[in-house]
A and B are shown apart, each in its own frame.
Chain A
């Protein structure tokens, strides 16, 4: 396949997930954010403010697209109208790359708008690999696949998550978007050692790292994106950052959205943490 792999323009440092309320201030003050990630689904409309925001930010900053609605693991037919609109948005914003989740979100045209986990089985692997192949062929480029926070794990797994991701990358040539908060949340909720997964993923495929906050609800850690990144997640991040030293990092913060100043300060804190960890490891 003729994937657009050669012209990936490098992103560096710690970027920020763009949220609408911050856009006017960002356009006015132009803070030195290395790049922004746009939530694809927020900007697919044919007109209006959200479309304008995407184009205005992309005129001043490198952007990537991060979607939640493709349902790559779903058994419903792929929504080619949706995928076409993603492609159009990517072209209009000159997005550096497109990412989606290793999940399904709908069944029989009932959409949950939440990322639901796949079983780690050969059937699921073949199914999602075929769909990623078709999406990449249509888009004409390699996409990144993100590991999700999963509050359930299925019995009868034929792989562990690391093996599944490795097989998937090999089968489709896709890249990985590694969400370290999701790794941590899953490890706590499912009584795993997070390093076990981090030791088993194909690091050469990792093109981006996500960091975000989580909350405890009823004894379960929930990937809320509702606050600062926890110390435990930063510790895990620092532990593995030398495996992907030049991979761009992104702060996601979606609910209880703080002021731009607080968000940008948090992103800078993560960048400092990244640089210090790399310095320590180099020494």
Chain B
């Protein structure tokens, strides 16, 4: 086998559940009492262990809700191959919400947890924003220096450490209940939307949003300018919108603007 063929065979053998190919097994030197299959199995254990540990880090609440042993068993049974598509192991695990929803169709024991997929989506957002760029400070001086007509044409930039999520179940309540003591759980009904935000370099908050505020954040994210935001709010609400935007700038949900 040439180098490329050998690498293809070994990566397939250690990431998938298939048995190692005969050409690969024949290319491995027999030494001592350890056979080639056992040697490949050592890599399989390392590879699956690395991926399972990564998923434990991303989905600690799901793991607690299901129980650590069941969670591991589920992953072993549902994941066909332990491998990822980038060198960054922090980027592994986005498929879990969909996997949980699919597993619920087949596994009666999971049907009592219809919210699992949404809870996993919330945890994935929490995980991802741990690694995004640190937020800059909104440049008030530069904004104030804009002519008023240019201010109304300006668009706002949300922090890269912010996600808006619209769950159908009150998964934010479950998430809060599994955080360290001191976290305040919101009221128990479903939230219209949640804002997931990394406050500084370390702390993640999950905050409930009203329908109106969720729509406002979505409009900002889609590039609506300030004039349009105020116009859409109507005369009676435009002052409230400005107060809300100011508050979000203070909280660093909004971190920048772009003058057009």
Contacts and interface: CB of A to CB of B under 8 A. Distances in A.
A109 B89 CA distance: 13
A107 B46 contact: no
Contacts of A6: none
A279 interface: no
A74 B7 contact: yes
Given A151-B42, A189-B32, A119 B6 contact: yes
A119 B3 contact: yes
Interface stretch (B97-105, B106-114, B116-124, B127-135): B127-135
Nearest to A85: B88
Most buried by B among A46, A50, A113: A113
Contacts of B38: 218-220
A191 interface: yes
B11 A48 contact: no
Given A112-B15, A155-B29, A191-B31, A71 B87 contact: yes
B28 A113 contact: no
B55 interface: no
Contact of A107 (B2, B11, B39, B130): B11
Contacts of B160: 47
Nearest to A186: B31
Interface stretch (A120-128, A133-141, A259-267): A120-128
Contact of B87 (A79, A116, A189, A217): A79
Contacts of A155: 26-29
A50 B47 contact: no
A106 interface: yes
B39 A220 contact: yes
Interface string A33-64: 00000000100111111111000000000000
A76 to B, nearest CB: 8
B45 A48 contact: no
A49 B130 contact: yes
Nearest to A52: B201
Given A44-B88, A74-B7, A154-B28, A112 B83 contact: yes
Contacts of B166: none
A47 B87 contact: no
Interface residues of A, number: 50
Given A112-B15, A191-B32, A121 B3 contact: yes
A54 B8 CA distance: 35
B11 A47 contact: no
A82 interface: yes
Contacts of B45: 217, 222
A45 B90 contact: yes
Contact of B133 (A47, A104, A109, A191): A47
Contacts of B28: 152-155
Nearest to B135: A47
B92 to A, nearest CB: 8
16 contacts: A46-B131, A47-B132, A47-B160, A47-B161, A82-B87, A109-B85, A112-B15, A112-B43, A114-B43, A114-B46, A151-B43, A152-B40, A152-B43, A157-B29, A217-B42, A220-B34
